[in-house]
Chains A and B, each alone.
Chain A
């Protein structure tokens, strides 16, 4: 489905695929015009990944759900100042999420990670599969907690958030080269931690 709109004087045409740069420009322009459908589309596409990132970051389902919703409220407040310069909307949203999580920790509100098989429940899965998923998630969570905060963030943004190295750099305020290096160290550290976990 081809979509077209005007952004200022410029007419932009896109293939209407979520995440495609031209489509993002259109979506952002519509969001700035307070188009409810555009906001619904942005929410539906980004909420699950933001939730997953915040879930791993905060270690609390309810908190992650509320904070993910708040990310969109804050994005809505600030969308007027957002200028698309090639950095995808997801990087901007993850940056808001990252800052919110940082504020949460600055206020000293650290919460333990409640491992619960319902958190990763999948409607189609059997009980055994659900248990297995929960165990894998538990293993991953424990290993992630052994990483430094920056190592954990780089892995979460890249592998859970699905961002590119450049976008992870934008979110974390670091150059792409530094992200590659951090990613290498983080994966090596995670490997060691997973190996240790196996031995238990």
Chain B
């Protein structure tokens, strides 16, 4: 009974507040609760319609000025303590003139990073084994290989990498770094073997004919360079070089 009355009272109060009913209408709807409901609803109406104490305009202005001073102070502190690019972005955001989403800041940072990365990659491309940026160059090679899906493109890429490895080997040989020459020779053999396998896998198409010619030409140049290197190479490097020469010779021999 009590619970029901509370629900009825709440419904009536909501209807009166929304202007959908008055006290009389509500009592007519729930005669079983009259006159108790009438007394309560009249009290609620009296409360709703009672005069509301109003603040003095000067007090309200004073409070608003205090609040806005705090907002301004915090804003100035935040802008002053931020790095210049954030100050610039923050000034736009905080001006409230443009609805700049938060992710704009992230995009600016990523773009900056990419620009820096491009410069890093360009420098890394010229690096040699043992130099700080050489691992970046190698990582980029792996990524390129992983992201090349067609067999023809992969074979072309392997040939390009083989040519680059030979150039690095010649440079390392000139500098007398025989350990690096051995390591590079092993990588070169890997590139050539993989290029040969891919060429075989592709079958007989026009693309493959061009690819075979390129592989042959590249293998021939590498063979010449490797043989030159072999002449001056120390004993410990010779075994690796001979193995690579054998692979290059094989690829050269496969060409039409």
Contact = CB atoms under 8 A, between A and B. Distances in A.
Partners in one complex: yes
Interface of A: 4-6, 8-9, 11, 30, 33-40, 43-44, 47-48, 51-52, 55-56, 61-62, 64-66, 68-69, 72-73, 76, 119-122, 133-134, 136-137, 140, 155, 159-160, 165, 180-181, 183-184, 187-188, 190-191, 194
Contacts of B13: 183
B75 A120 contact: no
Contacts, number: 141
Interface of B is mostly: helix
5 smallest CB-CB distances across A and B, nearest first, come from A69-B63, A6-B101, A65-B59, A133-B51, A191-B43
Nearest to A181: B6
B230 interface: no
Contacts of A165: 10
Contacts of B43: 187-188, 190-191, 194
B63 A120 contact: no
A93 B193 CA distance: 74
A73 B53 contact: no
Interface stretch (B64-72, B136-144, B240-248): B64-72
A76 B102 contact: no
A129 to B, nearest CB: 10
A47 B7 CA distance: 32
A61 B102 contact: no
Contacts of A136: 50-51
Contacts of A72: 63, 67
Interface residues on B, range: 35 or more
A52 B47 CA distance: 13
A118 to B, nearest CB: 8
Contacts of B39: 188, 191
A48 B10 CA distance: 26
B16 to A, nearest CB: 11
A188 B40 contact: yes
A14 to B, nearest CB: 12
Contact of A68 (B5, B7, B55, B78): B55
Given A8-B102, A187-B44, A55 B75 contact: no
B46 interface: yes
B40 A39 contact: no
Given A35-B96, A43-B64, A9 B103 contact: yes
B44 A55 contact: no
A134 B51 CA distance: 8
A38 B102 CA distance: 18
Contacts of B40: 184, 187-188, 191
Contacts of A187: 9, 40, 43-44, 47
A43 B72 CA distance: 15
A34 B54 contact: no
Contact of B63 (A55, A61, A65, A181): A65
Given A33-B96, A155-B47, A52 B63 contact: no
